[in-house]
Amino acid sequence: MPSYDDSSLELKVGDRLVPLAYAADENHLYLASPVKGTRWPSYILRNGIAEIIIAENNKKLGAELVSDEDMKRKAMDLFIKKYGREKARKWYGEHYRVICLSDMKQEPKGEPPGSQYYRWLEAEFDSIADEYDHHIYGNPVNSLLRENSVRLLSETFPGRERLLEVGCGTGTETIELLKSGHEIVAVDISQKMLDAVRKKAVQEGVSSNLTTFKGNADRIGTLSDELGAHSFNGIYSTFGALNCVSGIHSLPEGFHQLLSERGKLVLGIYNRMCASEILGYIAKFKFRQSLARLKPMAPEGESRFCIDVYAYTFMEIRNIFQSHFTVDSVYGVPVFIPPSNFSGYVEKFSRRFSSIKAVDARIGKIWPFSILGDHFLTVMTPVGIQ
């Protein structure tokens, strides 16, 4: 990568040119941004390509989010050396993202659908793995979601079963179920998330019952040959993994191939129809965000997530899965309590939060509130297994 004297470059974002500071080493250019508040990173990470104008030259470069902490710090050191520590801290803060730009031999062609999306997804979750537990337990509503899922999973799988978890994250549910004596195969797209789960399992003395696999949720059906058809008494995927799958229609058959006849499937889905969020954003006069979930895909910046997500209504999930599963139950979580992106409102009622949670749990079991929560939890039974 040649050296440039310009202090900034211009990034093409649609029909706009966005001026940005950059740093460089022998082989790469680096862009940096605060973790929140800027939209241009998702624009280039979505396609893995950045079109820039630098030193009056037009260039098209490959773009990749840097998830390795050492590499991030080295890149930031280059920014500090070039612009000074005071400016770097003012521009990017203590928590920042770094995007690496490098020459492409050729533009990607002939890749499976969604390949770039999954590379972006993997990098995002690798980059937040160290902070993920704080993201969950530092927000009362996120903690509430996990409380509900752990409770439902414990009720659905009261014995000691062989379970498959799709999208384990850092193991909020995994560790609790391992402690109960279950054998778990945990799948996640992020190796750093899997490393975190393994570390926790070792610390808790339950790692002998844990197997981890790195992979995308949409490829789960390919595990049947390796792990055995109908070899699991339960499969669960809660709060995220399935909302990061564009081709969800392929999943029911794959899950069905892996479940035993008496098995159960538990899903926690980011709901397309969240009544409290719609009303909350309307009250704040943020009409665009109030409708973001109603789209087939909510782009980063219009939801609370760091990546594009696919929201589904309960009726959509039921219809997609009905050829292979019947629905036993559905619960809205939470319904009356607003979503985690409205945590400021929740904190105002912190002294009464336990009582409010109890009321919300009762409401969440009643139709139609059961299908109008921030997420919904549903339990399904496989049909037609011989």
What residue type is assigned to position 133 of the chain? D
Closest CA to 196 of 376, 188, 354: 188
> Are 144 and 357 in contact, with CB atoms under 8 Å apart?
yes
pLDDT tens across 226-276, in order?
Answer: 888 899 999 999 988 899 987 788 899 999 999 998 999 999 999 999 998
| CATH code linked to domain 131-382 | 3.40.50.150
What integer pLDDT is reported at residue 286 of this predicted model? 83
pLDDT tens across 208-228, in order?
Answer: 999 999 988 888 877 878 888
Which stretches of the chain are DSSP H helices?
40-47, 69-83, 85-92, 115-128, 132-137, 140-156, 172-179, 191-204, 223-227, 251-258, 275-283, 287-290, 314-321, 343-347, 353-363
pLDDT tens across 83-111, in order?
Answer: 999 999 999 998 899 999 998 655 555 56
Q: Stretch 181-194: mean pLDDT, rounded?
A: 96
Q: Do 8-109 and 131-382 agree at the fold level?
A: no
- What is the rounded distance in angstroms from the CA atom of residue 377 to the CA atom of residue 4? 53
81-90, long-range: CB within 8 Å, 24+ apart, which pairs? 81/23, 82/7, 82/21, 82/23, 83/7, 83/21, 88/32
Give the pair of three-digit tokens for residue 125.
């979750």
- What is the rounded distance in angstroms from the CA atom of residue 382 to the CA atom of residue 307? 31
Which stretches of 284-339 are DSSP H helices?
287-290, 314-321
- What is the rounded distance in angstroms from the CA atom of residue 21 to the CA atom of residue 30? 9
What predicted TM-score, i.e. pTM, was given to this entire model? 0.89
Give the pair of three-digit tokens for residue 341.
């992106």
**CB-CB neighbours of 134 under 10 Å:** 10
Query: Domain map of the chain by residue range?
Result: 8-109, 131-382
Whether the predicted pLDDT of 348 surpasses 70: no
Mean pLDDT, the chain, rounded, equals: 89
Burial classification of residue 111, based on how many CB atoms lie within 10 Å of its CB (0-12 exposed, 13-18 middle, 19 or more buried): exposed
Tell me the CA end-to-end span of the chain in Å, nearest whole number. Answer: 60
- Report which of residues 347 and 183 the model is more confident about: 183
**CB-CB neighbours of 341 under 10 Å:** 16
Whether the predicted pLDDT of 304 surpasses 50: yes
Strands 210-214 and 183-188: parallel
User: In CATH, what is the architecture of 8-109?
Assistant: Roll (2.30)
Residues near 83 by beta carbon (within 8 Å), at least 6 away in sequence:
7, 21, 91
Q: Stretch 162-182: mean pLDDT, rounded?
A: 95
